[in-house]
Structure 1
Amino acid sequence: MRGRWTRRPPAGRRAALQQQREEEWRRRYPLFPRLLFVLDGTGPAGVENRIDALRAATRDLALFGFLHEVPVLAAPLTDLLRDGPSAPVWRPVQDPDSRVSWEQSRHP
């Protein structure tokens, strides 16, 4: 079996290329999209439990940088069907007592 040989750049150059690709991505998408959780299959108490579980997960130090840049929102499917996805039915996981529109949510 004959394979094609490709020349790999030196390690330092590979890191520079990787950084270049990341910068290209950042130019196209200056803000990371929001992370939206649609909750279904449970009543109001179950929604509260799931949001509490998501909030507990945000306390993980490994996620701190990600959560600082990316809004994480949750909404019950019943609210979305009733009011629509652009309505202020989304609950920021880090501030579950507030309600926001996903379009107007800001980074924490």
Structure 2
Amino acid sequence: MPAQNLNHSRMRHLPRRFRTRRVDLDAMQFYGTSTSGKDIVNWVFLSGGVASWTEATPAFESDDGLKGCAAQPCRLTVCHVEVVPGSWVLLVDGEWTVMDDAQFQERYQSWP
């Protein structure tokens, strides 16, 4: 329903109009590799953010077969958000965010 056809007499708060703004941002895509994860962590740290990287570990079983653990995948977190392979880490106006590849490709284009 168009905003001009709303019955404002029943509304305590009226909707406000907003406009998108052009935003320049820095971003890196996480490829799921050790190099990619470490590069993102270094970039986040150098830019004043918080990030962590944990290397993948293979499955382990003792020789007698009584002890062991399952394989653990690599893990990247940026500002307490887990980053899955293929996702993008963005720095926008001093704030860190994580976005999946489809959303990123839909919203942003590369800028020189």
Q: Is the TM-score greater than 0.5?
A: no
The TM-score, its normalising length taken from structure 1, stands at 0.29
The TM-score, its normalising length taken from structure 2, stands at 0.28
More strand by share: 2
More helix by share: 1
**Structure number with bigger Rg:** 2
